[in-house]
Every structure is written in C-alpha cells, then in structure tokens.
Amino acid sequence: MTDRLITHLRHVDLAVPDFARQQDFFTGAWGLSTEHADTGIAFLAAEGSPEQYVVRLRQAEDKRIDLIAFGAATPADVDTLAARLATSGVTLVHEPKTLDTPGGGHGFRFFDNEGRTIEVSADVTVRAHRRIEAGESVPVRLSHVVINSADPAGTRAFYERHLGFRLSDTLMHPRMGEMMWFLRINAWHHSLAIARGPHPSLHHVSFELRGLDEYMRGTGRLLRAGVEKIWGPGRHLAGNNTFSYFLDPHGNTLEYTTELDEVDEDTWHPHLYDFGKPEVSDQWGTANAMNEFVARKSFNDPDKGLFVAPPV
C-alpha cells in the first residue's frame, strides 16, 4: 500500500442524453445549485461545500460516468502521484497541467483498472459557500461514491496499492461471499466503496445533509415530488450513516445520508458484516427489506465510458 497523496473526494461527473431534464432534477428536487454552465455542460455545487462543484453534467449520446475526481494537498503531490502511476504502468489520460474547469488548479487524469477516468487535483480555488441552517434539507457536501465492479478484488487492490485507500469494513453474505468493500482516504468511514456487480457501472452517489431532521425532511420532499425511492429511510451498520436511495431521471441511484462515522485510524480494525442479518442493512428496521429486486435497481447500465476519456 502506498502512502496517501489523495486527501478527499471532490466531484462525480456524469454524462446523460437528456441534459435539461437531469439538470432540472438536480437543481430542483435534489437541491444542488448551478454554479457554472455553458451549452451542454453544467457544474453543480452543494450549498455548504467549499468545492467549486460536486457534480458535473454533460450532454452526451450515452449515459456514463465521465470521471471521479479527488483532491490532493499540493501540486507537488499531484506530480508525485502521476509519476508513480506512470512508472507502475497505469495509463495516464493526460499529464499534470493547469486545469481549465471552474476553480482551475493543477491536476491529471488516468484510467483505473476497469477503465474509469479518475482525476486528481490540487490548488483548486475554494468556492464561497455558506453554513446550512437548521431545517434546510439541501446537500451540505458530497459524501461518497460507490462503484459496481466485475473484478472487485482487482479494483480494491488498485485503489489500495496506487492511491492509498484503506479498508474500513466489508459486507458479506453466507451464500454469496464478500459483496461490498468500504474504503477510506481520510477519517470519513468511506469516500469510495466497491460493490460486486455484473459489470462496471455507477452504483450510487451519496450526498451528506446537515442532520437527522434535514435528512428526513429531504427524504419526505423527494417522496412528495414523486421521485422513485429504491430503499430507505434507515441506518446502515457499516459507517453508521442513514440512507434513502432514489433514482434520478436516467436510472442512476442517488442517496441522501447523514452522520457518516469518522474513524480513529490508529485504532480502527475492519469488520466483516453479514448483510443477511436485517440489522446490518438497517439498524432501525424502518426501511423496506433489501432483496434481489431492490439490489438490481443499483446495478445500473454497463458503463459506456470505460477507457474512453471524456472530451472535456
């Protein structure tokens, strides 16, 4: 395992065929704001986050993950990581350079083991943001992203070896074996998780709300708006965070959450949880039962962006 040069999750970039509908969903029902926009592209911010944007939308013929972006502390760390990856045989999309996305910064892109485009950057200008007040049911920040992998062992090894992620917990089932791995890059229980799936794709993107009241208000608002709920509301055991999963207009799973654990990295030991036990999936017992039909909703379509870097 390499030492950590990545500090946190910055944003998740999605390409969609119906750009206008998706943007309207994110800025209307979901509670993000359009911070920057141009023809066929929009950079969406969370009101409480210093990141320039937490989601980028792009008009495209096919639905895909354009990229997953992480932050680094300094430009020197970006350069060091890029050199290490290249030396290890990882394919770089481009070398470290000045980025032309909002906030600028110094960054590079590469393909992970299954072909997703990953970006690492530093010195991105901090966005003017505000404190989310009591009762406001809008996202404070991007919490984590979960990816489906047809080669979860290889994907976990890639992120641990090359990027310094560490295992927090694992979900398993007596009949199916290990099924999900929660990886952290800082004190948050997980910024990335890997789910065993039939193909590489997006499992879900999660957004942190201010607290329990705001999380429940947001969940209720989406239900009243007729947004399709997959699972929740409830509270997971791994990470101890709340969950309400919904489908966006293109069939991507999005989550409202709050109270994700922060771990003491000097003393933390990963757990192996059997999610066949109801209290593992949902400590409260308030969510609809997790079954194969619910799980299949988050398999998503096979990602058509693998080993094809986004044009912007």
How does pLDDT run across 96-119, given as a tens digit for each residue?
A: 999 999 999 999 999 999 999 999
State residue 3's pLDDT score: 83
Which structure tokens are listed for 221? 């608002």
The confidence band for 34, taking pLDDT boundaries of 50, 70 and 90, is very high
Q: What digits encode the pLDDT tens for the residues 155-214? A: 999 999 999 999 999 999 998 899 999 999 999 999 999 999 999 999 999 999 999 999
Which structure tokens are listed for 160? 């641990």
State residue 2's pLDDT score: 62
Put simply, whether the predicted model's pTM sits higher than 0.75 gets the answer yes
Domains and CATH numbers, the chain: 6-122 (3.10.180.10), 141-297 (3.10.180.10)
